[in-house]
Structure 1
Amino acid sequence: MDSISSRINKVSPSLTLSVTNQAKALKAQGEEVYGLAGGEPDQDTPDFIKAAAIEALNQGKTKYTPAAGIPELREGIAKKLKEDNGIDYDPRQVVVNSGAKQSCFNAILAVCEEGDEVIIPSPYWVSYPEMVRLAGAEPVFVETTAENGWKITPEQFEENMTGRTKMIILNTPGNPTGSVYSADELRALGEVALYEDIIILADEIYEHLVYGDTRHTSIASLGKDLYDLTITVNGFSKAYSMTGWRVGYTAAPKPLAEAISKIQGHTTSNATTFAQYGALAALEGGKDFITDLNAEYDVRRQFVYGRLSAIPNIKVTEPQGAFYMFLDTEQLGLKSVNLCDKLLTRYRVAAVPGIAFGNDNSIRISYCTTLDVLNEGLTRFEEFCRAH
């Protein structure tokens, strides 16, 4: 259709949502499907968070708020970033968005324009390249390897920089690989960004899901010079099991925060009012839930990694964070979409094709489901692998 924007024609549909929809369709037909494709915690939102939103509704908090969010939540986020991450933001530098996905998109729109380039380490979260394209800029993919922990090196960053490079996106802990950058690794990357004042989009949505001795570091905490180049993105979806609530946020130097707030004011306006009060309650009382969630996912991580390590014809790197396993499936001789289609239709196991993340010889498996589902799903996956 000629009236469709050429910008939209450059954008691919989300393969992660496609797999989820296929699995749901099979379930609707009465089929038993073992879902290893999910990107959200299987636990329900804690009751105290729900209660705060219900109370807000009962108090009539159903009207518009300031586009950047209610003052109490912005203050709470600023306090959290100082105490947990060592970053000192004024509440006016915080903008609350309708989910961290919108936070990322607003940040990219605020910085990038036609002709700009954005460096994206690959494998990458599926929406980054499409957001960049929608902003009129061009994604520049930098391949990482399992041997290097699926992390971009300073040398790779420098080699792929041009005069048009405007931003680099760093997702740590990372989706789909579970990689976590150390403070030293982030500092070294930051030194490269400082050469040309390249903006760093730091997506930290999985910050609370790190395991063992691994620690999360916010790159904006590593010095005033990096603070001035960084837009920190986070939200409530993963840590508090609030995916459907759609509350995320950006924190940035004042000029960037003002630009992001301006975009917010002309798109969705504020994040849902009563959901913001639920998010405020999460900040104030959610530490025990986070601790329990982290412990539960670490048990599942170790179980899944142990099972996958014994399966022939695949390779797996132990993730340090998030709740995914990124599997090298090249020895199976199938490209990722074909592999996942066969896995779902023949074995009733849902996984996400690696091509969605920029790597067609891989698939992503999620362990945000019960041990029973994981056990049966992995048994079927092993049968599939042994048959190939």
Structure 2
Amino acid sequence: MKAQLQFADNLSRLGTESAFEVLARAQSLAAQGRDIINLGIGQPDFQTPENIVEAGIKALRDGHHGYTPANGLPQLREAVVADLHRRHTVEVDPKNVVVVPGGKPTMFFAITMFGQPGVDIIYPNPGFPIYESVINYSGATPVPMALSEENGFAFSAEAVLAQITDRTRLIIINSPANPTGGVTPKVEIDKLVAGLLEHPHVALMSDEIYSNMLYGGREHVSLLQYPEIRDRLIMLDGWSKTYAMTGWRIGYAVWPDSMVDHVTRLCINDHSCVNAATQFAATEALNGPQTAVHSMVAQFDSRRKIIVRDLNTLPGVRCPDAAGAFYAFANIEGTGMTSVEAQNKFLNDAGVATVAGTSFGAWGEGYVRFSYANSTENISEAISRIRGLL
């Protein structure tokens, strides 16, 4: 007799990240001999800088093969604190820094820490799909913070504050943003923080994983710079994007005093600790020279200008300026296709992998995300193929 298993109900509410599904389809087509240009996955195409790689290798050769503290190596947390002071001019206690295997564990821990039936969590839409997925998994109600092209895909503080009720427990913000490349200006963040003083029951998770990637003279505004909300702020950052370390699986968050013990217990129950060699590499990333970071960001900026310019020459397509991260969020309504139709046609007929805007929420309909974490040659060829198709 076949097994007749009954899974937990919450498993059916767990979504996915469609960029990985597109990547799998693109790889399958490539394995069949198709020439595929991947502008879908959000991953730097650069190698991890050599000094970081060597630090990881040295750690292994020096015998760092065992468990580490659940919240991260002390020297790594101290390096994080020094980096935050350099970049954001803020003071953080190392005990408030918790190192985890990537950015998603912080999201998962923060959302499940507050999410349960009868609770609302406000999140950006279009936004990173894991936000909405884990909110649903927790049993909470996802309340979309609608982001629009007309507003530069920045949130409106007035609109967000108007969505807060007694049920609201957490607000998630992401700037610079995935998938839109939008950056919320300081004036809106100021208004949000001021308004939240009237809602002391609401926590914040600020996803700042792209904080080093802003263009056109823009400067990053970290929520850590607002002491009046530090006692309810979770600030997420990491190494994956800035240092081209996606496969190393390491990130961190700054947690308020009231949450540190809770999240540390979650770490112990979930993954025990982050692997030791990666933490030594991450320490070198922060303490070592930043030349490679500046070079990568400069190349992203050059690619950004090219892809936005060229997308705006395609029939039926318009693309707003991308202010941060490494994504262009192109409006394809003029092509007459839905987001999914465009994604599939670009991949199947033109050999260009992109991600439908609806993969990032209902407000992404009419858009397709292009990652410019690829060479200028490949970007130009991809746009040429899509031009021929359209």
Using the size of structure 2 for normalisation, the TM-score is: 0.96
- Segments of 5+ residues of structure 2 without an aligned counterpart are none
Q: 1:277-299, CA deviations, whole angstroms, 9 ceiling, x for partnerless residues?
A: 00000001141111111111000
- Segments of 5+ residues of structure 1 without an aligned counterpart are none
- Cross-structure match for 2:107: 104
Q: 1:170-209, CA deviations, whole angstroms, 9 ceiling, x for partnerless residues?
A: 1111001111122222111112222212111000000111
- Cross-structure match for 2:302: 299
- Cross-structure match for 1:218: 222
- Cross-structure match for 1:120: 123
Pair 1:189 & 2:167 matched: no
8 Å contact from structure 1 (residues 182, 215) kept in 2: no
RMSD over aligned Cα atoms? 1.3
Distance between the aligned counterparts of 2:289 and 2:379, measured in 1?
27
Residue 315 of structure 1 aligns to a residue whose secondary structure is coil
Distance between the aligned counterparts of 1:136 and 1:260, measured in 2?
19
Amino acid corresponding to residue 65 of structure 1 in structure 2: T
Distance between the aligned counterparts of 2:66 and 2:192, measured in 1?
43
Pair 1:377 & 2:388 matched: no
1:308 aligned to 307, 311, 318, which one? 311
The sequence identity of aligned pairs, in percent, is 32
Residue 193 of structure 2 aligns to a residue whose secondary structure is helix
How many residues are treated as equivalent by the alignment?
Answer: 384
Q: 1:206-230, CA deviations, whole angstroms, 9 ceiling, x for partnerless residues?
A: 01111121110101202x2122221
Shift of 1:128: 0.8
Residue 4 of structure 1 aligns to a residue whose secondary structure is coil
Distance between the aligned counterparts of 2:356 and 2:73, measured in 1?
39
- Cross-structure match for 2:210: 206
2:166 aligned to 154, 157, 163, which one? 163
1:62 aligned to 61, 65, 73, which one? 65
Distance between the aligned counterparts of 1:6 and 1:305, measured in 2?
43
Distance between the aligned counterparts of 2:186 and 2:154, measured in 1?
13
Residue 77 of structure 2 aligns to a residue whose secondary structure is helix
Using the size of structure 1 for normalisation, the TM-score is: 0.96
Distance between the aligned counterparts of 1:286 and 1:22, measured in 2?
38
Shift of 1:90: 0.7
- Cross-structure match for 2:372: 367
Distance between the aligned counterparts of 2:29 and 2:255, measured in 1?
43
8 Å contact from structure 2 (residues 175, 184) kept in 1: yes
After TM superposition, the structure 1 = structure 2 runs for residues 249-268 of structure 1, keeping only pairs within 5 Å, are 249-268=252-271
Amino acid corresponding to residue 199 of structure 1 in structure 2: A
- Cross-structure match for 2:178: 175
Distance between the aligned counterparts of 2:262 and 2:166, measured in 1?
23
Amino acid corresponding to residue 379 of structure 1 in structure 2: S
Residue 197 of structure 2 aligns to a residue whose secondary structure is helix
8 Å contact from structure 2 (residues 16, 129) kept in 1: no
Distance between the aligned counterparts of 1:129 and 1:377, measured in 2?
30
2:78 aligned to 75, 79, 83, which one? 75
- Cross-structure match for 1:339: 342
Q: 1:3-36, CA deviations, whole angstroms, 9 ceiling, x for partnerless residues?
A: 1221110122321110000001111112100111
